[in-house]
Homo-oligomer: A and B are copies of this chain.
Amino acid sequence: MERNTRQRAAILGAIQRAGRPLSPAELHTLARDEAPALGLATVYRNIKMLLLDGCIREVDLPGEAPRYEEAHLGHHHHFKCRVCDCVFDIADCKTDWHAFAPPGFVVDAHEITLFGTCPKCSGQAPLSSPPHSADGHSHG
């Protein structure tokens, strides 16, 4: 990762502006605003480089393809809305997982994902856009 190309800037910029984990396809779509001819292979290659470089981190939710978000966000977990499919960051937990695991198991990390309905989709927050536009819409 030695050159600062238009494509790389577009990809990293998209991740930084999104405020939520993005899939390679979403990244491709979003980054094309700044780099129209951007190829999907370039997105994948840059994801790998940015991961190695520590700029971004992979977000693995159970049963879902990997998404990517800024690395500097610190430890946190995710909430996936079943209606709009958007993934939201939620705070780290304070649970003592060492105690939760059976005796003899040494816990060095944990992954937690909550599933449910986000405020927007449960009608508790002002709905400006239809709930079912899926992965594509922004949640500010």
Question: A interface vs B, CB < 8 Å?
Answer: 58, 60-63, 66, 79, 82, 88, 90-91, 93, 95, 97, 100-119, 122, 124-125, 127, 131
A116→B101 contact, CB < 8 A: yes
**Complex Cα spacing A111 to B116, Å:** 12
Q: Is the CB of A113 within 8 A of B116?
A: no
Cα distance, A117 to B101, chains bound together (Å): 11
B109 touches A110 (CB 8 A): no
CA distance A88 to B101 in the complex (A): 10
Q: Across the interface, do B115 and A113 meet the contact criterion of CB distance under 8 Å?
A: no
> Which 9 residue pairs of A and B lie closest in terms of their CB atoms, listed nearest first?
A104-B119, A60-B62, A60-B63, A104-B125, A109-B115, A107-B116, A106-B117, A108-B116, A106-B116
Contacts of A103 in B (CB 8 A): 119, 125
Complex Cα gap A2–B101 (Å): 40
